[in-house]
């Protein structure tokens, strides 16, 4: 499974009402570090399929949601569980660090 595009209008349904945890990547087309972590997020979406949904929200196209959650810098990754923001990381990081962060929050590959 690949990453899922989310917008201001779909955020509640796709993220807040999701049955499984959702890792939301707040990004923008012009953001170099955002593009740098995109392949890692695609891999994580496949590797952790069934355990977590990886969603991406373009802050330019959907400015209301980042504003609501106080996103100040990008990339910002927020983990939502049961409709609540459970954890947040700001800045680009290697795939392994993202996986370690997710493991700390109880999300691991179901293989």
Catalytic residue chosen out of the listed positions 15, 22, 24, 34 = 34
Q: What is the pLDDT of residue 1?
A: 72
For the whole prediction, is pTM greater than 0.75? yes
Which band of pLDDT confidence, cut at 50, 70 and 90, is reported for residue 110?
Answer: low
Given a cut of 80, whether residue 85 has pLDDT beyond it is: yes
Domain boundaries, the chain: 4-104
For residue 87, give both structure tokens. 């954890």
Catalytic residue chosen out of the listed positions 23, 24, 31, 45 = 31
- Cα-based distances in Å from 31 to 15, 57, 86, 100, 107: 23, 13, 25, 24, 27
Q: What is the pLDDT of residue 41?
A: 97
Active site residue 47: no
Over the stretch 28-83, which tens digit does the pLDDT of each residue have? 999 999 999 999 999 999 999 999 999 999 999 999 999 999 999 999 999 999 99
Active site residue 65: no
Q: What class does CATH assign to 4-104?
A: alpha beta
């Amino acid at each position: 499974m690949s990453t899922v595009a989310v917008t201001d209008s779909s955020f509640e349904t796709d993220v807040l009402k999701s049955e499984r945890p959702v890792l939301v990547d707040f990004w923008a087309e012009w953001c170099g570090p955002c593009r740098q972590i995109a392949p890692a997020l695609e891999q994580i979406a496949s590797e952790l399929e069934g355990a977590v949904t990886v969603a991406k929200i373009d802050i330019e196209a959907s400015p209301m949601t980042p504003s609501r959650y106080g996103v100040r810098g990008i990339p910002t990754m927020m983990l939502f569980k049961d409709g609540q923001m459970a954890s947040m990381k700001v800045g680009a990081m290697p795939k392994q660090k993202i996986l370690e962060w997710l493991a700390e929050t109880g999300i691991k590959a179901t293989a």
